[in-house]
């Protein structure tokens, strides 16, 4: 106890940790969750990459870089990810600007429809995309009839960029419009007062202030595209890293470590991209100085502007929602083959799924709702620990949770099976690894980064004095969290919940590995099962439509909740 002898100096254990016992316990609980369900399973799989006949080796990494194909794949993946960011930016920035700048009735529509592209039911989405944009899809058949040429939307790397761009642009839209709405209108006004307007105003004030939001969204797009497997597979583009890893890991009977090497390299690149974005934003987190916000000054559009905006929005939404229109047609069509539209229409597919599939819907709501809930709880905990405490290692929690973005679902699925199959828990029939509970946990791990970012942003908006006031009045940390912090973060929490819920509802890769019993199966699994046969296309698409509708309703509700929250807060700012 050398410290005690220094007169007047106190360094008791917990004070040295900079955290209260409850905070330490919270941190440990979150860490335990991440270690148990993310780190350990992933390491158990990734370990193969480092194993040679004589134990640990790096020779497989040498093989990776010695291979022309893998070097090409690495380059292609980086190229596609970067170009997708460009395309997504072109789509998202004008939409975000319309919402932030103008008072017009389309804002709610953009918000809701902006999330829908993220909800692409597996397989159904792929087929619908081909039916709309494929080389003999609706668009190209019509073009060919009318003008005698086709546009290769879905061919090669450009096809991947196109599909990824219209799938993932909402990440930029959501983050950017959140950033724009946090800009204090006084900042804009003071710039105008100093003579800046129009483009100069945008370039010198609005853009730099919105940059953190943009970079957050763009890095998310980059990482998601870099890791995305479904799109390259759908377009049969194999010269990219994710499909190479997938093909190697899942080929029957192949015990080649290079697949795992690729996985490790993908995780490394993704982490580097996210780290780079964080570095870029260091010291530029202006949001913390912009309490209250209130957003840019909104004004009514002149009629010419409104017409232009509506046309842009209509075209953009038509393009980005065309897969969903395709799914809708597929679910209502009889046979759709080599023709712009289905041969005939019927409601029979909905009849089929409604009688057979209520169980899947209930399971989806149960698992994805559970996962969303778990995600916002953990998201709040991590955001709180990072922003409000000085607990050692708190940033590591954030980084670990975010890193799950970079873990392919298949790797996580295999890892969880490998780690937990032997475990059984009283009250759960069969193995823990294949229970609905574990599926919920796996979804939660996969979608945690979305919820975490939303909670983190929401907490940043909250002045610490609101919590201190509660503590001063006798409320402990946990009570303050429950009664003050969480209710005030509600808008952000809702956004995080919806994103996690919506994307989990269509997650397939881990689902396929972890579902063992029909009674445990969620919607995405049912869609997969239907889509395995030609007759199942219609019912599968009908289930896809149902999934999209469920998500759309959830998004709309959370948008309402967030708006209410925001207006409550901004009224306060006006009053003060």
Give the footprint of another protein on residues 316-335 (CB under 8 A). 334-335
Q: Count CB atoms within 10 A of the CB of residue 44.
A: 16
CA distances (Å), 383 to each of 175, 308, 397, in order? Answer: 17, 40, 10
Interacting positions 531-560 with another protein (CB under 8 A): 531-537
Part of the chain binding another protein (CB under 8 A), chosen from 66-74, 216-224, 279-287, 448-456 = 66-74
Residues 6+ apart with CB under 8 A from 542: 331, 349, 350, 352, 353
Residue 575 touching another protein (CB under 8 A):
yes
Residue 48 touching another protein (CB under 8 A):
no
Report d(CA 26, CA 252) in Å as an integer: 42
Part of the chain binding another protein (CB under 8 A), chosen from 102-110, 234-242, 359-367, 548-556 = 234-242
Interacting positions 202-231 with another protein (CB under 8 A): none
Q: Is 134 helix (H, G, I), strand (E, B) or coil?
A: coil
Q: Count CB atoms within 10 A of the CB of residue 94.
A: 16
Report d(CA 537, CA 546) in Å as an integer: 14
Among residues 512, 556, 560, 563, the one that binds another protein under rule CB under 8 A: 512
Among residues 17, 47, 67, 185, the one that binds another protein under rule CB under 8 A: 67
- Are 221 and 84 within 8 A, CB to CB? yes
Interacting positions 392-421 with another protein (CB under 8 A): 414, 417-418, 421
- Are 338 and 414 within 8 A, CB to CB? no
Name the minimum Å distance from CB 349 to another protein: 12
Residue 148 touching another protein (CB under 8 A):
no
Residue 288 touching another protein (CB under 8 A):
no
Among residues 37, 60, 113, 181, the one that binds another protein under rule CB under 8 A: 60
Q: Looking at the DSSP assignment, which residues form a beta bridge with residue 51?
A: 56
Name the minimum Å distance from CB 481 to another protein: 13
Residue 170 touching another protein (CB under 8 A):
no
Residue 233 touching another protein (CB under 8 A):
yes
Interacting positions 481-500 with another protein (CB under 8 A): 483-484, 487-488
Among residues 528, 543, 545, 558, the one that binds another protein under rule CB under 8 A: 528
Q: Count CB atoms within 10 A of the CB of residue 339.
A: 13
User: Is residue 200 exposed (0-12), middle (13-18) or buried (19+ Cβ within 10 Å)?
Assistant: exposed
Interacting positions 353-382 with another protein (CB under 8 A): none
Question: For another protein, how many residues bind (rule: CB under 8 A)?
Answer: 95
Residue 66 touching another protein (CB under 8 A):
yes
- Kindly provide the residue ranges of all beta strands, DSSP E only, lying in 46-151, ordered along the sequence: 51-52, 55-56
Interacting positions 239-258 with another protein (CB under 8 A): 239, 243, 246-247, 250-256, 258
Residue 517 touching another protein (CB under 8 A):
yes
Residue 9 touching another protein (CB under 8 A):
yes
Select 69 or 425, whichever has its Cβ closest to another protein. 69
- Are 133 and 325 within 8 A, CB to CB? no
Cα radius of gyration rounded to whole Å, the chain: 25
Select 191 or 264, whichever has its Cβ closest to another protein. 264
User: Quick one: CA dihedral 379, 380, 386, 390, positive or negative?
Assistant: negative
Residue 518 touching another protein (CB under 8 A):
yes
Give the up-direction half-sphere exposure of residue 160: CA atoms within 13 A in the CB hemisphere: 29
Name the minimum Å distance from CB 293 to another protein: 14
Select 22 or 272, whichever has its Cβ closest to another protein. 22
Select 106 or 294, whichever has its Cβ closest to another protein. 294
Interacting positions 433-472 with another protein (CB under 8 A): 433-434, 463, 465-466, 468-472
- Are 375 and 494 within 8 A, CB to CB? no
Interacting positions 257-286 with another protein (CB under 8 A): 258
Residue 425 touching another protein (CB under 8 A):
no
Among residues 39, 136, 211, 366, the one that binds another protein under rule CB under 8 A: 136
Q: Looking at the DSSP assignment, which residues form a beta bridge with residue 136?
A: none
Report d(CA 271, CA 105) in Å as an integer: 39
Q: Count CB atoms within 10 A of the CB of residue 497.
A: 26
Among residues 135, 150, 359, 560, the one that binds another protein under rule CB under 8 A: 135
Give me 244's structure tokens. 């190479």
Give the up-direction half-sphere exposure of residue 95: CA atoms within 13 A in the CB hemisphere: 31
Select 200 or 533, whichever has its Cβ closest to another protein. 533
């Amino acid at each position: 106890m050398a410290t005690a002898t220094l007169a007047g100096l106190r360094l008791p254990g917990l004070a040295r940790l900079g955290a209260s016992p409850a905070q330490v316990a919270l941190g440990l609980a979150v860490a335990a969750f991440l270690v148990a369900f993310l780190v350990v399973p992933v390491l158990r799989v990734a370990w193969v990459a480092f194993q040679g006949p004589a134990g640990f080796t790096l020779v497989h990494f040498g093989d990776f870089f010695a291979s022309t194909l893998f070097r090409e794949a690495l380059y292609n993946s980086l190229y596609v990810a970067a170009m997708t960011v460009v395309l997504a930016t072109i789509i998202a920035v004008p939409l975000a600007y319309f919402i932030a700048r103008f008072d017009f009735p389309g804002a709610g529509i953009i918000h809701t429809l902006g999330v829908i592209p993220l909800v692409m039911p597996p397989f159904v989405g792929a087929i619908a995309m081909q039916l709309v944009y494929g080389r003999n899809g609706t668009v190209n058949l019509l073009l060919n009839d009318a003008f005698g040429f086709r546009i290769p939307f879905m061919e090669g790397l450009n096809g991947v960029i196109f599909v990824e761009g219209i799938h993932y642009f909402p990440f930029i839209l959501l983050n950017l419009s959140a950033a724009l709405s946090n800009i204090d209108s006084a900042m804009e006004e003071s710039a105008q007062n100093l003579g800046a307007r129009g483009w100069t105003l945008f370039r010198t004030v609005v853009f730099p202030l919105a940059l953190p939001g943009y970079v957050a969204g763009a890095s998310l797009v980059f990482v998601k595209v870099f890791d995305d497997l479904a799109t390259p597979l759908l377009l049969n583009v194999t010269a990219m890293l994710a499909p190479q890893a997938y093909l190697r890991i899942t080929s029957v009977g192949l015990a080649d470590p290079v697949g795992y090497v690729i996985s490790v390299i993908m995780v490394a690149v993704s982490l580097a991209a996210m780290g780079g974005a964080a570095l870029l934003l260091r010291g530029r987190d202006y949001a913390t100085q912009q309490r209250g916000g209130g957003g840019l000054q909104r004004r009514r559009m002149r009629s010419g502007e409104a017409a232009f905006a509506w046309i842009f929005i209509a075209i953009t939404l038509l393009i980005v929602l065309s897969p969903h229109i395709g799914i809708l047609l597929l679910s209502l069509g009889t046979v759709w083959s080599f023709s712009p539209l289905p041969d005939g229409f019927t409601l029979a597919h909905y009849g089929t799924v409604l009688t057979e599939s209520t169980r899947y819907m209930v399971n989806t709501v149960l698992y994805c709702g559970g996962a969303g809930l778990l995600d916002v709880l953990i998201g709040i905990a991590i955001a709180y620990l990072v922003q409000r405490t000085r607990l050692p290692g708190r940033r590591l929690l954030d980084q670990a949770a975010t890193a799950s973005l970079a873990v392919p679902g298949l790797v996580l699925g295999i890892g969880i099976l490998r780690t937990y199959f032997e475990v059984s828990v009283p009250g759960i029939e069969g193995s823990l690894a294949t229970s609905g509970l574990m599926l919920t946990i796996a979804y939660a791990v996969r979608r945690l980064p979305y919820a975490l970012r939303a909670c983190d942003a929401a907490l940043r908006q909250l002045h610490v004095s609101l919590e201190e006031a509660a503590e001063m009045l006798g409320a402990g940390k946990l009570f303050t969290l429950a009664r003050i912090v969480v209710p005030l973060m509600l808008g952000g929490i809702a956004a995080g919940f919806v994103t996690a819920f919506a994307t989990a509802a269509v997650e397939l890769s881990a689902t396929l590995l972890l579902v063992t019993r029909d009674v445990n199966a969620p919607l995405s699994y049912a869609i997969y099962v239907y889509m395995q046969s030609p007759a199942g296309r219609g019912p599968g698409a009908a289930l896809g439509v149902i999934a999209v509708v469920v998500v759309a309703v959830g998004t709309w509700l959370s948008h309402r909740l967030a708006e209410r929250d925001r207006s409550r807060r901004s009224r306060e700012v006006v009053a003060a």
